Structure 1
Amino acid sequence: MGFPRSVATIAAVALFAAGAVTAPASAAPSLCRVNLQPAAPVVFEVDETDVVVTLERCGSGRLRIESEGPDGLGIMLIGSTPDGTYEFWSGIESAGEYRVRAVVDDVVSGWVPLAILKEPTVYSAGWKLIGEATNTWGRFDGSHATNEPVWTEFLVDGRWSKSQESTTSGTGSYVLPLTYGANTPGEYVFRVGARYYNGAVVYTEASSIERVARPAASHAGVKIVGETANVWGHFDVRWPAPVWTEVWTGAGFSKSQQGLTGSSGNYVLPLTYGASKPDFYWYRVAGDIGDGDIARTEPFFFRRVSRPTINAVPTAKVGQPVYASGGFDVSADYKAIKVWTEVWTGQRWSKSQERVSSSTGQYTIPLTYGATTAGTTRWRVVGQYAEGRVVSPEIRLTRVR
């Protein structure tokens, strides 16, 4: 990397023993000093296995680099090399655990370990709705990263910032939560780092997690059987996206009605399943937010009830007590509900008397507005369910003297 590399690699028939090679007893002590270090403490590709060699007072001796590992002994012949510091390819051509040294004539450096490791992996779901828990997972080389520190880093304002920490497993695998930006829509770039047993810090390639705004769903809550009902809301898209309702049918959610959002992500879909039968129905809305990724709203209950009844005498004398009576459908849960009369005052419906129904939905409420004045008044009764309001049919009461 920055210096020429020799391409000659010779498989040796014998292995060197560890330690320095000594000159013959009759030879004078050499002043040559040879040092070799890996260019990087951890490498993942065979073409990245460079070594840095420093020669001092070696007088342009003949340099070679020797490696010992799974393939036996490899020799990289460099040739006559003046004093200085150089970076050479080690000649290693396959992954594994090696040791390397430099030799100038009869002077050798010490053996230095050099490992070509498996590149760490990083995975994630790719996207999640805001607020949803999600993780990143993967593996560092188990031979160097067993039970070692591991952590996530997020790119924040152009700098890497540490987030969550843990420890790799006995095989180098890891699982870490992705918490940064969990509640804010956007795309977040992260990487995973680990400290290997030799002290080297190794990172995965950068990855990203996208946080998508949770789709919204609004609805009336309760409707009389047979009445049209819709669900409406918004998906975080900027194009017409397929959307559909899903309803729980006992064994799972089943697709019901489908349509498209507008270009701003807004949608309206009819709630048709169970439209003719009083009961609670469990719905949710799903949409394709791009590349086949499906986002869903939180499930919600929608209630269908029978039409409420209302009865009262059509005519009464001024001052005579008159009552409206009838019932609201509470057969799904048999809970009493709040009920009240409303009278038309010429411009709007105005609340009059309020009561609580029985546990079977029956009520009786006095019609007091206009009781001392001759004329005709219009009345209706409103029932307040937990899910929303339902209005009875309208009746008329005529007061005469």
Structure 2
Amino acid sequence: MSDFPHVLPTYNRAPLAFERGEGSWAIAADGTRYLDLGAGIAVNALGHANLELVAALTEQAGRIWHVSNLYQIPQQEKLANLLVDNTFADTVFVTNSGTEAAELAIKMARKYWDHAGDPDRYEILTFEGAFHGRSTGAIAASGSEKMVKGFGPLMPGFVHLPFGDVEAMRAAISDRTAAVMIEPIQGEGGIRVLPDADLRLIRQLCDETGALLILDEVQSGMGRTGRLFAHEHAGITPDIMMVAKGIGGGFPLGAVLATEKAASGMTAGSHGSTYGGNPLACAVGARVMEIIATPAFLAEVSRKAGLFRQKLEGLVAAHPQVFESVRGQGLMLGLKCKVAPADVVKAGYAEHILTVPAADNTLRLLPPLNISDEEITEAVIRLDRAAKRVEEA
């Protein structure tokens, strides 16, 4: 038998395994409790083993799991109604992941122009540092060497621009531009926030030229910034939006939201998914939406974010050799590091706290949105101890 790992070794996994979780805590088999500031990379929006989500899942599991999209799925319709009622969208396609949502968003934008009689309008403008998933289309959209090396030839039709360079976009947009695709806050790219004024200007340029605006809110959406979706802070709406991660609260789920106009080319047979929108996923997703998409919940996210950020500013000031600054919005926060973020992550393991590294020398802090004030205080205490470990190494 081959010695090659039975699990494909595409991850450098930490030597940690968790048996169960409770709210903001992940618990190892020996009972060690880790304060989880990664939340499965912004997925466990309501923490581990949330009782309301467990109830929604188990109730549905006792009824019916899967039927396929050959039939009507009431749970999918409920989730779609909640998303439409709370956003700009007129229609929703439910997927299993953010990567699948990215693929559909690309297809939808190109199909729109083909349907409109202009098939040569297929280029999509994207931005340096972007992460839209790991499918061939999504890596072509990102264009970074780390993502694409060895996977050529790439899907054509993407124009890569410097991050947040609206003037470069103004120069690049043309009668071949189908859409502009951008994250309001880059997650994998290092918690880089696109200023509201720039997002408004991008919306304006799209309106002036007819290009569709695709927003990737896979990581920044579902209440993470204190609004249901990050673009709401800028007072604009997209034509197409990708959603995943937090929408399932830990259950694999994604979606593409779109206006009637942007979706006009997506007729019967133009897209599909065997698992997408299944009753299990949608029962959980609908409950997540019912909890998160309320003014009171979102106001609490904003309040906790202010508390956390204030404490993190003090942490940065106390460890100038380790940290440079705090960045981000809401509970999508980053610590810009002067050391390798991986060193801080590793030191955090010793202090029983979980964080997530990102590009641009940044440490991501993506806690459950219902983290308590006491847990925020404890998180900063543990991060302080982790920073001292790095300084002493």
Normalising to structure 2: TM-score of the pair? 0.19
Q: Higher strand fraction: Structure 1 or Structure 2?
A: 1
Normalising to structure 1: TM-score of the pair? 0.19
Q: Higher helix fraction: Structure 1 or Structure 2?
A: 2
Structure number with greater CO (CA < 8 Å, separation at least 6) is 2
User: Larger Rg: 1 or 2?
Assistant: 1
